[in-house]
Amino acid sequence: MTDAATEPDKITGPTPDNALRAADKADSGPVLAADGRPLKQSLNRALRAQKIRALALIAPLLLFVLVSFIAPIGDMLFRSVENQIVEDTMPRTVQVISRWDPATDETPDEMVYQAAYFDLFFSAEARRHTRLGQRLNYESTGMSSMFRSIGRDLDEFGEPYQDAIEASDPRWEEAGFWYDLMSGEGANDLLESRRDSYMRLMGQSQRTVFGDVTCGIGSVFGNPCDIALEDVPLEFSLSNDITEFLPLTAEAYSDFTVFTVLDEGDVVAEEEPWEAVYTALGIDLKAKSQAEIQAYNGTGADALQAAYTALAEVEDISFRDQFIDADPDWGIQQPWQVLQTYSAAYTPGYFLNAVDMQKSPQGWELRPENQRIYGLLFQRTLFMSLVITFSCILLGYPIAYLLSNLPARKANLLMILVLLPFWTSLLVRTSAWKVMLQQQGVINDVLVWLGLVVDDGRLVMINNQFGTIVAMTHILLPFMILPMYSVMSTIPQSYVRAAKSLGATNWTTFWRVYFPQSVPGIGAGSILVFILSIGYYITPEIVGGTSGIFISNRIAYHISSSLNWGLAAALGTILLIVVLALYWAYDRIVGIDNVKLGG
């Protein structure tokens, strides 16, 4: 048997010396786990598995927050600056009008009117020109009607050219002849660029990963996505020779081809071209000399020669005069200034409108005084939300105090009365206040019966700020009471008894001992009530009239009625920034850590 005192190195059991020797040996290599892997690697692997399991548990909540909260806010921020509709609807005009200087006190030149004609013809065929008119109408009243009227008259602009061309050779009325004339090889880049323009006009961009995922999800529920437009074959190849010889005609015929295939699903070779294609051909031929026409020997050379001869007797079309005949307002600078000012893909115009400013060629400027409404609405919203918050504090604090100090039986009965409004529809509660506050309502009848108010001098308590404050205070009062009660119920009564035993009066005890401990509940209730009230729109809409509505009512109007989603998004973004700024100020002054819901 080994003697531990004389031969300690020969002991094989678990002794301190053996543990130290094992540790010294471990320093020469990594510590291993039971499965033979390095201990650090096994530990990281176990922690990674735990993190994955934890993430899987909260993934549904994260997805819900992303879809219902983060994505709408991101979409709102994007819509508040997005303005691609102008460039997508009138790309040629946007490019040409950028060279126009409004300071010359003259309308744009003929090239701008010509570009506007071809852009509007294409968008009118796609039934998208009125959307642009509606967008620009937000910046200048009357633009919507201008675009509607011009869309009805575009077919007649090139009528002299079309009549002359068709009279020169009967083949010009045949769809197959046009197809043979324009088809060939080498100019498909132009055709593809016009396809891209059509897709942007129709609001269908190139497919993305997100779009593919959406299509996959839709197919699971039996609603698969249609074939993407960029995958639809046009079954037509544009001739490089005709593109070089007749560039405007090639572009107009490309528009016709793309629309015929992608929108109508027809065969290009069987459809007669648009009036705009004849107009483009007339412009191209009139720009040629006799020598250039005679030098061309491609397909349809004789027909082009005949058309050139016939067009020589036709007076040049003035697109400017045609626009003015359709609507005299096209002959002044103002609509073109608006089009030029808002031609960028992204614009601060919505935000400027939201703060009663506007964008002009001279820069940013305030709107006329009689058009400044949003600044007033923001001020009113903040003021009334603060008044409602303080009203809820004044009314809710005594109730919360009673709830926390009454015996349990009485406190439970009072709590049921506090929660009772939650069991009644918001619309019913608001409508009830409308009945009570009107001049022939219950409150006025009681005041007249008591002799406090004469019958012909009844109080006006509805359709104004007073009615909004009263109704919203009643609706939001429980949201103030519950946080304050949850905090007050945790305040030890021994503090109050100790203060009184030391000689403090009831007021001193309340103000110096009880009230400071209830401040976190007031803070929590105030934040909750203020944020709810600043975004309310149902109650102000019913009882507020014209002087008691909030900025949220205007946002709802632009979303549901005027469909000015850009301005609604800008107003919502500003409201969000104001709330965050006030939250930051509250945190700096009071400290968000002092806000409690009990405990």
Q: Cα–Cα distance between 226 and 215 in angstroms, integer?
A: 9
For residue 346, the cross-strand partners are: 82
Q: What is the pLDDT of residue 218?
A: 41
Dig out the tokens for 72 from the structure: 């709408």
Q: Cα–Cα distance between 458 and 110 in angstroms, integer?
A: 66
Q: What is the pLDDT of residue 594?
A: 59
Q: What is the pLDDT of residue 11?
A: 55
Dig out the tokens for 222 from the structure: 């039996």
DSSP collapsed to 3 states, 38-90? EHHHHHHHHHHHHHHHHHHHHHHHHHHHHHHHHHHHHHHHHHCCECHHHHHHC
Question: What would the pLDDT profile of 9-55 be if each residue is shown by its tens digit?
Answer: 555 555 655 555 555 555 555 666 566 677 677 777 778 888 888 88
Q: What is the pLDDT of residue 217?
A: 40
Q: Cα–Cα distance between 214 and 203 in angstroms, integer?
A: 16
* Residue 542 CA neighbour count, 13 Å, CB half: 18
Cα dihedral across residues 247, 253, 257, 263: positive or negative: positive
Q: What is the pLDDT of residue 225?
A: 47
* Residue 438 CA neighbour count, 13 Å, CB half: 10
Q: What is the pLDDT of residue 12?
A: 58
Q: Cα–Cα distance between 287 and 276 in angstroms, integer?
A: 17
Backbone angles phi, psi at 238, to 5 degrees: -85, 140
Q: What is the pLDDT of residue 6?
A: 52
pTM of the model: 0.75
Q: What is the pLDDT of residue 213?
A: 39
Burial (CB count <10 Å: 0-12, 13-18, 19+), residue 147: buried
Q: Cα–Cα distance between 96 and 318 in angstroms, integer?
A: 17
Residue 133 vs residues 89, 120, 124, 357, 555: alpha-carbon distances, Å: 10, 11, 11, 21, 21
Q: What is the pLDDT of residue 545?
A: 85
Q: What is the pLDDT of residue 210?
A: 37
Instruction: Please list the helix, strand and coil fractions of the chain in percent, rounded to the nearest 5, in that order.
Output: 70, 5, 25
Query: Which strand (E) or helix (H) includes residue 366?
Result: strand 363-366
Q: What is the pLDDT of residue 40?
A: 73
Q: What is the pLDDT of residue 202?
A: 85
Q: What is the pLDDT of residue 597?
A: 53
**Residue whose structure tokens are 């107003």:** 571
List of the chain residues with pLDDT < 70? 1-36, 39, 187, 204-231, 361, 590-599
Q: What is the pLDDT of residue 186?
A: 72
